[in-house]
């Protein structure tokens, strides 16, 4: 039946021992020191091996530039729009794939130029003494280091270590990959500078640049990288607008090679200027393209009418013929020119209408002015339509948002609707004007019919020639104007500060950050280790643990037996360890006096499990009693696992077992030791029934007989947590010492001890903490750590090296 005392396990609720945790941390100071040394060493190695990181910037402004040749007198009307939303558009273009493809291809930044540094390969772009001119239409070995070593000023050696039977090739003309077969050996071949290299896996010409410096004997490496991967890396150019001016942009890059970043930043801006200027000239370009196609047709017509006029004038007096119809001819010419202008406008409107209905790309529309249309609504809307179409085409490479494209499409659709309405209204007016001019031409032609036939024929030919000549001349004039406007255009993007290496710019590696991180990790890792030990380890650590778990008194603390001798009190009587046992002797005498024990006194020593130091404590407590000139005897009652014989170098053939089975007398089993006043009774041969022997009447007779001969009787018993023998022997003990070992005895064992004491199974129990070592204190490891104050009172201990300590622990 369960006793109510069995539930005393719930009486003690352990809280977080902050003081104990701090002491535990301090006790592992060597781990913290080692961890910090390792962490700082790693941080140092990272700092000296990591390449330096630099930051480069360039500053540009966006300002609408008007064309100085674009005046009201110019017959061509162009509408450029404004700079609204240009900043966002330019920021998008700078980070777009299509834009960076152009820049990377122009600079050939898919080629790495490397040189062996102290710890690794470093980017030496801008510092190599040569230029590579590759054949883009042929394959280059991909992603493999190609060694270039200069044997002399005009001869170099190529080395490529082939590991497989084939290598991958990249052709930069179309960015495609292929493979070619090679021998799996190191390829070595020499070439002259300027000589064409034509290999299945390399196609280039290496030429020394203008300022090569000294390069004989130097070795460089080149590597051909994936084009798309290189472009993706350069799309990370940072673009930010100035808070003080919304039209000012700062472009920035970070990397290890300042020359490469300077070249790229300046090239990307120059490419942007070119693209923006080409877009700005799109209107003029479209107009010139339209005029050129028209001039080709007009030129053949003009040549045909010119030949016809020459043929008519042959063998005729043209002057006499022309006199009669000169006035009529001039009149008809005016009407024809006016009719041609109206016809061209109507034709442009018809063409524009069909283009709006059947096409989706409006970037190639010619200017309305080329047909003589100056309606501001139509001119402005065509200009907007061209601009939106061009911008949408450019953004298709960089923007993946359907919403943005939908907005563009909505704007384009709205402008188309307005333009179609404008076209219908303008055409109706032109058709009316065309009917009027046709009527006038009809009246003039009726007058011509009254002239002689030769005059009529001359007027007909000349009329056709003059009209073609007039149109051709007008188109030439318009083309010249368009060329002037295009040539004099200015980009809206301007350099404020081009990228330039003026020294400095270093932003990394963050050495201080690495050291701070090393300090943090070097402290955190062992701290987590100690924290895990503190919460996972359920063993007794110090006297505070015992006081929290039980009300049973703690009468002594025994330090670590660093000398590994069991007769510690006898061998080193002045040591701190010996003083610990003397303190226990004093406490025991107080307990005996308190219980009014007279005559011989018995002491039972037990523990929870094996290895907690029962026998060691039994021997040395008995020794301090014996050295105080008291007749003392130790009885080895651990019949299952005897150890007492080994400690005194005795033979365990005779002992308690022989007495209990009536084979031997007390004198025959008693052994005299080299320690004065101390005798030892061993356990004897291991019996098959140890519990029955201890329960026999002979056990009581043995104790009574011993009391007649000795002042102190020390019972070295088996662990109470493993067998019940000690509980049977408790009836013979005046005092019971329960041995607890630091960092070995589990806290749950103290709870079991409480239960046994409360049930009366153990009498007059007290606790001794064995193997205690307070690593957090820098003095004595024994007792309560008097440190330097113990000098002169205890025997000085030999200081051992760290390796000696580790060796001793390994032996244990």
Picking from 749, 783, 774, the residue whose alpha carbon sits closest to that of residue 606 is 749
* Strand ranges in 622-779 using DSSP code E only, listed in sequence order: 632-636, 670-672, 678-681, 712-716, 735-741, 765-772
Q: Point out the least confidently predicted range of 18-22, 125-129, 540-544.
A: 18-22
SS3 374: coil
* pLDDT at position 809 over 80: no
- C-beta atoms surrounding 387 within 10 Å: 19
Residue 780 has pLDDT above 70, yes or no: no
C-alpha 572: how far from chain center: 61
Task: Give the tens place of pLDDT for each residue, 619-628.
Answer: 999 999 999 9
Q: Report the C-alpha gap between 784 and 82 in whole angstroms.
A: 87
Q: Are 74 and 481 in contact (CB under 8 A)?
A: yes
How many whole angstroms separate alpha carbon 6 and alpha carbon 759? 9
Q: What is the DSSP string of 201-244?
A: S-EEEEEE-S---S-TT-EEEEEE--HHHHHHHHTT-EEEE-SS
Helix or strand (DSSP H, E) at 521:
helix 511-536
Q: Helices (DSSP H) in 314-375: which residue ranges?
A: 318-358
H helices of 710-787, where? 725-729, 747-758
Query: What's the rounded Cα separation, in Å, for the pair 467 and 479?
Result: 18
Q: Tell me how far apart the alpha carbons of residues 514 and 758 are, in angstroms, rounded to a whole number.
A: 59
pLDDT at 83 over 50: no
Rounded distance, CA 705 to CA 549, Å?
Answer: 39
Indicate if the pLDDT at residue 740 is higher than 70: yes
Encode 6-16: b = buried (16+ Cβ within 10 Å), e = exposed.
eeeeeeeeeee
d(CA 201, CA 139): 6
- Range with lowest mean pLDDT among 77-81, 93-97, 323-327, 558-562: 77-81
Distance CA(190)–CA(221), nearest Å, equals: 15
How confident is the model over 433-439, as a mean pLDDT?
78
pLDDT beyond 70 at 808: no
Contacts of 106 (CB under 8 A, 6+ apart): 267, 271
Inform me whether the pLDDT recorded for 69 exceeds 60. no
Of the listed ranges 367-376, 412-421, 520-529, 603-612, the one predicted with least confidence:
367-376
Residue boundaries of the structural domains of the chain: 282-488, 543-811
Q: What is the 3-state secondary structure (H, E, C) of 440-503?
A: HHHHHHHHHCCCCHHHHHHHHHHHHHHHHHHHHHHHHHHHHHHHHHHHCCCCCEEEEECCCCCC
304 has pLDDT over 90:
no
Q: Which residue, among 530, 511, 526, has the nearest Cα to 37 in the 3D structure?
A: 526
Q: What's the confidence (pLDDT) of residue 81?
A: 41
The angle that helices 376-395 and 282-313 make with each other, rounded to 10 degrees, is 120
CA distances from 3 to 7, 8, 26, 285, 759 (A): 8, 10, 43, 106, 8
What global pTM score does this model have?
0.56
Q: Give the architecture (CATH level 2) of 543-811.
A: 3-Layer(aba) Sandwich (3.40)
Q: What is the pLDDT of residue 424?
A: 82
Instruction: Give a three-class secondary structure readout of 537-568.
Output: CCECCCHHHHHHHCCCCEEEEEECCCCCCCCH
Most confident range (mean pLDDT) of 14-18, 383-387, 595-599, 806-810 is 595-599
* Max avg pLDDT among 266-270, 363-367, 394-398: 266-270
Q: Which of 28-37, 233-242, 294-303 has the lowest mean pLDDT?
A: 294-303
| pLDDT for 77 | 46
For the segment 338-372, what is each residue's pLDDT rounded down to a tens digit?
Answer: 777 788 778 778 877 787 777 777 776 776 766 77
Q: Which pLDDT band holds residue 215 (cuts at 50, 70, 90)?
A: very high
Compute the CA torsion angle 286, 287, 290, 296 (nearest 10 deg). Answer: -130
Which residue is associated with the tokens 């100690």?
Answer: 530
Give the pLDDT band of residue 475 (cuts 50, 70, 90): confident
pLDDT digits (tens, 9 = 90+) for 87-101: 777 888 888 888 899
Average model confidence (pLDDT) across the chain: 80
665-676: average pLDDT: 89
Checking if the pLDDT of 548 tops 50, the result is yes
- pLDDT score, position 738: 92
For residue 7, what is the DSSP state? G
Beta strand pairing call for 248-255 and 238-241: antiparallel
Pairing type for strands 765-772 and 712-716 reads unpaired
483 Cβ contact partners less than 8 Å away, ≥ 6 residues apart? 284, 288
pLDDT in the model for residue 321:
44
Q: What pLDDT does residue 176 have?
A: 93
Backbone angles phi, psi at 773, to 5 degrees: -140, 115
pLDDT in tens, 572-589: 888 888 899 999 999 988
Average pLDDT for residues 308-327, to the nearest whole number?
Answer: 56
Residue 534: helix, strand or coil by DSSP? helix
For residue 10, the model assigns a pLDDT of 40
| SS3 label, residue 324 | helix
Which residue is listed with tokens 């510690």? 568
Question: How many C-beta atoms lie closer than 10 Å to residue 472's C-beta?
Answer: 17
- Burial of 286-314, coded b for 16+ CB within 10 Å and e otherwise, reads bbbebbeebbeebeebbeebeeebeebee
> Which pLDDT score, from 0 to 100, does residue 15 have?
57
Radius of gyration, CA atoms only, the chain: 54
H or E element, residue 381: helix 376-395
Pick 94 or 799 by higher pLDDT.
Answer: 94
- Cross-strand partners of 559: 772
DSSP H helices in 72-140: 86-94, 97-107
């Amino acid at each position: 039946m369960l006793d109510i005392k069995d539930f005393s396990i719930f009486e003690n609720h352990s809280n977080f021992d902050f003081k104990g945790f701090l002491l535990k941390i301090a006790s592992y100071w060597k781990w913290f020191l080692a961890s910090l040394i390792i962490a700082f060493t790693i941080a140092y190695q990272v700092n000296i091996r990591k390449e330096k990181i630099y930051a480069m910037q360039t500053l540009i402004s966006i300002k609408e530039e008007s064309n100085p040749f674009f005046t009201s007198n110019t017959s061509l009307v162009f509408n450029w729009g404004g700079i609204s939303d240009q900043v966002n558009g330019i920021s998008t273009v700078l980070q777009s794939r299509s834009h960076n493809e152009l820049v990377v291809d122009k600079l050939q930044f898919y080629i790495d130029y490397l040189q062996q540094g102290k710890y690794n390969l470093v980017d030496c772009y801008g510092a190599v003494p040569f230029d590579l001119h590759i054949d883009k239409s042929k394959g280059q070995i991909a992603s493999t280091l190609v060694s270039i070593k200069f044997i002399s000023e005009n001869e170099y050696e190529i080395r490529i270590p082939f590991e497989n039977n084939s290598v991958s090739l990249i052709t930069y003309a179309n960015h495609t990959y292929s493979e070619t077969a090679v021998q799996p050996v190191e390829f070595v071949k020499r070439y002259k500078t300027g000589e064409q290299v034509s290999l299945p896996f390399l196609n280039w010409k290496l030429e020394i640049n203008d300022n090569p410096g000294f390069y004989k004997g130097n070795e460089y490496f080149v590597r051909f990288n994936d084009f798309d991967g290189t472009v993706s890396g350069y799309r990370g150019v940072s673009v930010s607008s100035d808070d003080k001016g919304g039209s000012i942009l700062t472009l920035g890059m970070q990397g290890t090679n300042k020359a490469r970043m300077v070249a790229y930043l300046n090239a990307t801006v120059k490419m942007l200027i070119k693209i923006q200027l080409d877009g700005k000239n799109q209107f003029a370009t479209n107009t010139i393209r339209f005029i050129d196609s028209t001039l080709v047709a007009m030129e053949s017509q003009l040549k045909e009418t010119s030949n016809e006029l020459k043929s008519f004038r042959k063998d005729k007096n043209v002057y006499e013929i022309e006199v009669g119809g000169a006035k009529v001819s001039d009149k008809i010419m005016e009407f024809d020119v006016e009719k041609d202008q109206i016809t061209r406008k109507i034709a442009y409107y018809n063409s524009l209408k069909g283009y709006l209905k059947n096409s989706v790309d409006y970037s190639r529309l010619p200017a309305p002015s080329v047909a003589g249309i100056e309606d501001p609504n139509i001119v402005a809307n065509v200009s907007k339509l061209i601009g939106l179409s061009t911008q949408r085409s450019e953004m298709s490479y960089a923007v993946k948002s359907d919403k943005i494209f939908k907005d563009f499409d909505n704007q384009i659709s709205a402008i188309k609707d307005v333009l179609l309405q404008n076209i219908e209204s303008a055409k109706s007016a032109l058709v009316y004007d065309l009917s009027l001019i046709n009527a006038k031409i009809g009246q003039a032609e009726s007058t011509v019919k009254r002239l002689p036939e030769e005059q009529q024929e001359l007027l007909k030919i000349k009329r056709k020639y003059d009209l073609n000549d007039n149109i051709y001349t007008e188109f030439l004039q318009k083309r010249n104007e368009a060329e002037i406007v295009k040539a004099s255009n200015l980009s809206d993007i301007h350099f404020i500060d081009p990228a330039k290496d003026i020294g400095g710019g270093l932003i990394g590696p963050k050495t201080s950050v690495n050291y701070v991180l090393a300090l943090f990790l070097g402290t955190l890792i062992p701290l987590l280790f100690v924290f895990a030990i503190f919460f996972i380890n359920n063993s007794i650590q110090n006297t505070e643990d015992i006081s929290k778990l039980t009300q049973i008194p703690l009468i002594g603390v025994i330090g670590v037996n660093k000398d590994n001798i069991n007769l510690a009190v006898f061998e080193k009587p002045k040591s701190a360890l010996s003083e610990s046992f003397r303190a226990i002797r004093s406490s025991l005498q107080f307990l005996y006096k308190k219980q009014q024990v007279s005559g011989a006194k018995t002491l039972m020593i037990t523990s929870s499990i094996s290895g907690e130091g029962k026998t060691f404590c039994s021997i040395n407590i008995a020794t301090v009693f014996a050295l105080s000139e008291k007749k003392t005897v130790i009885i080895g009652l651990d019949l299952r696992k005897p150890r007492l014989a080994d400690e005194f170098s005795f033979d365990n053939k005779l002992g308690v077992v022989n007495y209990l089975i009536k084979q031997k007398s007390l004198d025959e089993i008693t052994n005299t030791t080299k320690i004065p006043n101390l005798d030892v009774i061993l356990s004897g041969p291991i019996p098959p029934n140890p519990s029955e022997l201890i329960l026999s009447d002979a056990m009581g007779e043995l104790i009574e007989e011993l009391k007649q001969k000795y002042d102190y009787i020390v019972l070295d018993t088996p662990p109470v947590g493993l067998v019940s023998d000690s509980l049977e022997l408790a009836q013979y003990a005046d005092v019971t010492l329960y041995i607890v070992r630091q960092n070995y005895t589990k806290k749950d064992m103290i709870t079991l001890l409480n239960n046994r004491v409360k049930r009366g199974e153990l009498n007059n129990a007290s606790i001794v903490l064995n193997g205690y070592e307070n690593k957090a204190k820098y003095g004595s490891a024994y007792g309560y750590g008097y440190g330097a104050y113990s000098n002169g009172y205890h025997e000085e201990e030999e200081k051992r090296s760290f390796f000696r300590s580790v060796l001793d622990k390994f032996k244990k």
